[in-house]
Structure 1
Amino acid sequence: MVVGPFVNGSAVLIGGMAGAFLGTKVPERLRVALPMTFGLSSMGLGIVLIGKIHSLPAVILALIIGAALGELVFLEEKIGRLGNLAKGLVGRFQGEQTETGLTGAAFTEKYVAIMVLFCASGTGIIGAMTEGMTHDPNILFVKSIMDIFTAAIFATLLGYAVAVIAVPQLIIQLVLASAAVLIMPHTTATMMSDFTAAGGFIMLAAGFRIAGIKSFPVANMLPALVLVMPISHLWTMFIH
């Protein structure tokens, strides 16, 4: 049984509740500084995962083709639209104004953005699939540490609705972990190494984005995670 998704969901729930309770008591300097540390943590974990690579050309090819496909189908934009489903739920909980005085439009804009951040991040997708395949929850544990503080910081502005994001996040990660279990019997150690490394590249890009250094279209890179295993397998068979 997987545990990472439940730990990660609990972290968002607890962080969201705590941040909403504290509200404006959290100093502004923390709201600015902590995202930089979150980004640095994601970059560090990405570098560690890239170190597990087996076939660099196969991984780079998967990243290029995957990113091209994501751009062609506007994947990041479509994932962002899914966040609009939160509008009705947010409206029931907080009406036209949040507890911190944001208007309905401003609240929805920010809420949609963080919903995508928590539910569709490369770290969560990679972590859930990795635990499903290898029973190693460490990536989701690291994400949970970052998420509990990230949720708290955002909840100081958006209120208790941030905690609600734990529900779709948990569902998405459980689905991904279950799907990964079906894939596991058809994988090799080489394929797993290259899958992990591809995820590391995406997490590195996500870290740059979180830290505000460079806004990589991380969601558009996600198809690489689907392509990297077959490309790695073919590369090993016919080229390397």
Structure 2
Amino acid sequence: MPIGIIINVLSVLIGGVVGTLAGKRFSSEFKAMLTLVFGVCAMGMGISAIVLMTQMPAVILSVVLGTAIGLKFRLGKWIHQGAVLMQKPITRLFEGHHSDLSHEAFMSTLVTVIVLFCASSTGIYGSIDAGMTGDSTILISKSILDFFTAAIFACNLGWVVSFIAIPQLIIFGALSLSAQMIFPLTTPDMILNFKACGGFLLIATGFRMANIKDFPIADMIPAMIIIMPITWLWTDFVMPLLG
């Protein structure tokens, strides 16, 4: 398993512990300002990936078409429903946990955290990238953000945030192993365009984290699935026609 996944899981685990034990020392302004910085960092990660693209039309087509597919089949809604189901057994283990939040607010926030750590575009992109190329840069960078994010959420949710590291390990590990099997079928152009496609999702994530624009991040995830076949079609069929 790529070292990036292990580091990412540990960042959530330890961040949750830190937030639970020292969360009261974090002011609301501190949390809000730090979240804005998270958004800028995500945008920077996205820009560094986008510049790697080799066929811009193929990447743009994948982002637009992939998002359309996600919106059509309401992928974001299905991911949210999956998080709701995952939240139930986790909550049972912490039924006696005291929180300043109401029961409804606690449940809603917990579902948000599960989606953020287990089904974010950054995590999915980073896990697949690490599995295919062995490059854990995205996951390690994400780990820095996740450590502080977990600490912030743990201020209100407590120990349950650290527990989310378990399903995160399972999901990211499965994605990485699947990517390793796909890698022999890829080309260098496919890999670079995949990274660029993930970069667009990272920028959209940054805008959302900074509360600038609420992009449908979960619905954009299919773009990372179709980018490779579209790159193949563009390279082998479209480009020869264009001369």
Question: Scaled by the length of structure 2, what TM-score is found?
Answer: 0.95
1:216 Cα deviation from its structure 2 partner:
0.3
Matching of residue 87 in structure 1 with residue 88 in structure 2: yes
Matching of residue 192 in structure 1 with residue 152 in structure 2: no
- 2:211 is paired with a residue whose SS is coil
1:58 aligns with 58
- 2:93 is paired with a residue whose SS is helix
Mapped partners of 2:149, 2:90: distance in 1? 21
Segment of structure 1 superposing worse, 18-27 or 177-186: 18-27
1:24-63 map, 5 Å: 24-63=24-63
- 1:24 is paired with a residue whose SS is helix
The C-alpha deviation readout for 1:183-210, integer Å capped at 9, x for no partner, is: 1111111111111100000111011111
1:100 Cα deviation from its structure 2 partner:
3.2
Matched residue type, 1:189: P
Mapped partners of 2:145, 2:132: distance in 1? 23
1:90 Cα deviation from its structure 2 partner:
1.4
1:25-174 map, 5 Å: 25-84=25-84, 85-95=86-96, 98-174=97-173
Mapped partners of 1:63, 1:179: distance in 2? 22
Mapped partners of 2:93, 2:226: distance in 1? 40
Mapped partners of 1:111, 1:171: distance in 2? 18
User: How many residues in Structure 1 have an aligned counterpart in Structure 2?
Assistant: 238
Segment of structure 1 superposing worse, 22-31 or 123-132: 22-31
The C-alpha deviation readout for 1:206-227, integer Å capped at 9, x for no partner, is: 1111111100000101001110
Give the superposed CA RMSD.
Answer: 1.1
Mapped partners of 1:32, 1:47: distance in 2? 23
Mapped partners of 2:235, 2:26: distance in 1? 52
2:8 aligns with 8
1:64 Cα deviation from its structure 2 partner:
1.2
Mapped partners of 1:192, 1:219: distance in 2? 21
1:105 Cα deviation from its structure 2 partner:
1.3
Matched residue type, 2:89: G
1:66 Cα deviation from its structure 2 partner:
0.7
2:213 aligns with 214
Structure 1 stretches of at least 4 aligned residues deviating more than 6 Å after TM superposition: none
Q: Percent identity?
A: 44
Mapped partners of 1:125, 1:201: distance in 2? 13
1:99 Cα deviation from its structure 2 partner:
2.9
Mapped partners of 2:152, 2:23: distance in 1? 9
- 1:239 is paired with a residue whose SS is helix
1:103 Cα deviation from its structure 2 partner:
2.0
1:28 Cα deviation from its structure 2 partner:
1.8
1:23 Cα deviation from its structure 2 partner:
2.6
Question: Scaled by the length of structure 1, what TM-score is found?
Answer: 0.96
The C-alpha deviation readout for 1:76-99, integer Å capped at 9, x for no partner, is: 01101111121332133134xx53
1:113 Cα deviation from its structure 2 partner:
0.8
The C-alpha deviation readout for 1:141-198, integer Å capped at 9, x for no partner, is: 0000000000001101111111111111111110110000011111111111111100
Segment of structure 1 superposing worse, 197-206 or 16-25: 16-25
Matched residue type, 1:20: T
1:199 to 1:163, Cα distance in 2 relative to 1, 3 A:
same
Matched residue type, 1:4: G
Unaligned runs of 5+ residues in structure 2 are none
